Amino acid sequence: MEVKIIKDEKDHLVVELDNQTVAELLRVYLNKEDAVEMAVWKRENAYKPVILEIKTSGKAAKKVLEDAAEAVEKETEKYIEDFKKALK
């Protein structure tokens, strides 16, 4: 997956992603955080990349995104293990 940082300020981060599913997962996790004022994504059309925008209050936006990505990864690993157990 390609990730390109478009804007990187302490409380405002805009990144370009090539995966809409990942952008939606991150948006959901980000909006659960108290420090996040806004986490949204948009896509002009199916042939353009997804733009994920994050605004925070009091916490570095890049760190909040890293934490959300780690939380998604951790939960996904749990589901994979559950599926493996169920298929045995």
| C-alpha–C-alpha distance, residues 81 and 76, integer Å | 9
Q: Give the confidence band of 59 by pLDDT, cuts at 50, 70, 90.
A: very high
CATH number for position 72: 3.30.1360.10
| C-alpha–C-alpha distance, residues 44 and 42, integer Å | 7
Which residues lie below 8 Å from residue 23, measured CB to CB, with a gap of 6+? 17, 41, 50, 52
Identify which of 36, 24, 28 has the alpha carbon closest to the alpha carbon of residue 64: 36
The reported pLDDT for the residue numbered 42 is 98
Domain count, the chain: 1
Can you give the residue range of the structural domain that contains 39?
Answer: 3-87
The reported pLDDT for the residue numbered 2 is 86
For 37-56, the pLDDT digits (tens) are 999 999 999 999 999 999 99
Whole-structure pTM value: 0.88
